[in-house]
Amino acid sequence: MNIIVCIKQVPETTEVRIDPQTNTLIREGIASIINPFDMYAIEEAIRLKEQQGGQVTAITMGPPQAESALRQAVALGVDRAVLLSDRAFAGADTWATSYTLAAAIKKLGAFDLIICGKQASDGDTAQVGPGISVHLNIPQITYVKKIEEINIDNIRVERMTEEGFEIISSPLPCLLSVVKEINEPRLPSLKGMIKAKKIELINWSNNDLNIDGDKTGLDGSLTQVIKIFTPPPRRGGQIFEGEIHHSVDKLVDLLKKDIT
């Protein structure tokens, strides 16, 4: 089984600080880690390899320092690592990112499964995984919490929904995005760490992927970030007590005032 895991390097913090002038993340003094949700994707891919045989390839798009995220993935048991790094890729939105990743996956050749974390802890969009599947024209199953069964042709999974879960089958190849309920990621092994030090990464630039410039990076992005800000904290709600119809009247009055 040939499995591809898409990962992202993110700042190690839950409170992302944003420079109000440039609308970009403030990265100074913050360590970089693999996006926590991607750790579940890596773990699931390695478990599948251990059961089914085959190989796991981790792929990331990012600045040259994203190499350390790939090496960390190798230390966990990933066999191959691909770094997509090019100035032309910079500033990509989720469309351009997923387009670039999809192009690299095509170039890697045949695969059975792509696994992504459900979303990145910095951008929180949850769009890149599904975007890749659209660019590759393969089925996608998001929010997967369990792989029930997998063979060379098919997969059956449990997918989280707000009220419970769905059981979905799909032919392979397909793309999964996984939630943290799916497994408990392992720690690296010593052999893995030694391998991670030595392994030669596959480095691809825009030239290697042969993508039109207008489809990558900032130029290829269909969306543009106008402003990023921390929303003001929600103010406490108001509770109307007493007779139900009085409360409803009061609420309607207040809502009307709010609109005007």
Contacts to another protein by CB under 8 A: 186-194, 197
In the complex, minimum distance from the CB of residue 115 to another protein, in angstroms, rounded to a whole number = 20
Of 194 and 248, CB closest to another protein: 194
Of 135 and 186, CB closest to another protein: 186
Of 40 and 99, CB closest to another protein: 40
In the complex, minimum distance from the CB of residue 191 to another protein, in angstroms, rounded to a whole number = 5
Of 76 and 141, CB closest to another protein: 76
In the complex, minimum distance from the CB of residue 74 to another protein, in angstroms, rounded to a whole number = 13
Helix axes 94-108, 128-136, angle to 10 degrees: 50
57: closest CA among 33, 79, 27, 83? 79
In the complex, minimum distance from the CB of residue 118 to another protein, in angstroms, rounded to a whole number = 22
1 neighbors 53 (Cβ within 8 angstroms): yes
Of 87 and 191, CB closest to another protein: 191
In the complex, minimum distance from the CB of residue 2 to another protein, in angstroms, rounded to a whole number = 24
